[in-house]
């Protein structure tokens, strides 16, 4: 595997479910990011981890819970989501403050 | 004022023409600038990065940066139908520094410009 991978690619969940998104980067980067992309809206930064320490939380609701066990893996745990949380969730990584590389994304639908 | 603003689209150009995409940003302290291409249903793909004033060329793509005017642009020469996509301008508005002194970037994205290249 190369680059940034994300699983699952598609997820449909009910409002009472609990699920997790997984991201893995094979680039040796120190920083990892979660973004949300909704239709007709710019990419929204959700969380930033630098060497597995959370450094940014952009006022994200607590129903989204990130986890970064090491600098190569990043998870986003989801629980009691709302239909408006349906979106494309993107993971990215970067080396220091340079270019960010994105994974393929998880298309999430909350029913 | 939006932190990063792109020219409103959609932009339509004929095959072989030059497509010009523009972006302005609000923070004069910004140091890093990026252009991403995003095909429908796919994730953003980095196509250009630029850090200093002037032009940077890579194949058919040229990025131009003018920090005094807080303006960055992307020119696509000899446009092809395969260039049809949404182009995202991203600016490293703020860089963070963790307790250990290692930096990381925080990108702010524009809303994107949809480009269509018609045969």
Q: Which of A41, A48, A102 has its CB closest to that of B43?
A: A102
Residue-level length of chain B: 119
pLDDT confidence of residue A95: 87
pLDDT confidence of residue A108: 97
Name the residue in chain A with its Cα closest to that of B32. A98
- Residues 57-86, chain B: which have Cβ within 8 Å of A? none
Strand partners, B99: none
Rounded-to-integer distance, Cα B14 and Cα A33, Å: 37
- Residues 18-57, chain B: which have Cβ within 8 Å of A? 31-32, 34, 36, 42-46, 49
Place of tokens 């131009």: B64
Rounded-to-integer distance, Cα B40 and Cα B19, Å: 19
Q: Measured between alpha carbons, how far is residue A23 from residues A4, A98, A109, B55, B113 in Å?
A: 7, 19, 18, 35, 28
A contacts of B92 (beta carbons < 8 Å): 97
In tens, the pLDDT along A58-82 reads 889 999 999 999 989 999 999 999 9
Radius of gyration of chain B (CA): 15
In tens, the pLDDT along B46-105 reads 999 999 999 999 999 999 999 999 999 999 999 999 999 999 999 987 666 555 555 667
């Amino acid at each position: 595997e190369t680059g940034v991978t994300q699983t699952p690619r598609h997820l449909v969940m009910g409002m009472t479910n609990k699920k997790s998104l997984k991201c893995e980067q094979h680039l040796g980067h120190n920083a990892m990011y979660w973004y949300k992309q909704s239709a007709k809206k710019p990419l929204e930064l959700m969380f930033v981890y630098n060497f597995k320490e959370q450094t940014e939380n952009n006022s994200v609701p607590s129903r989204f819970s990130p986890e970064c066990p090491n600098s190569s893996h990043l998870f986003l745990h989801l629980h009691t989501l709302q239909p408006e949380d349906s979106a494309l969730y993107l993971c990215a990584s970067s080396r220091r403050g340079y270019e960010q590389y994105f994974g393929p994304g998880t298309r999430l639908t909350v029913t | 004022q939006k932190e990063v603003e792109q020219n409103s689209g959609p932009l339509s150009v004929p095959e072989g023409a030059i497509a010009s995409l523009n972006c302005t940003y609000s923070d004069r302290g910004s140091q890093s600038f990026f252009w991403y291409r995003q095909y429908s249903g796919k994730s953003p793909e980095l196509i250009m990065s630029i850090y200093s004033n002037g032009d940077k060329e890579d194949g058919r793509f040229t990025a131009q940066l003018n920090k005094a005017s807080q303006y960055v642009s992307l020119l696509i020469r000899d446009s092809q139908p395969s260039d049809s996509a949404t182009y995202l301008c991203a600016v490293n508005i703020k860089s963070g520094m963790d307790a250990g002194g290692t930096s990381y970037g925080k990108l702010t994205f524009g809303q994107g410009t949809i480009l269509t290249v018609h045969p």
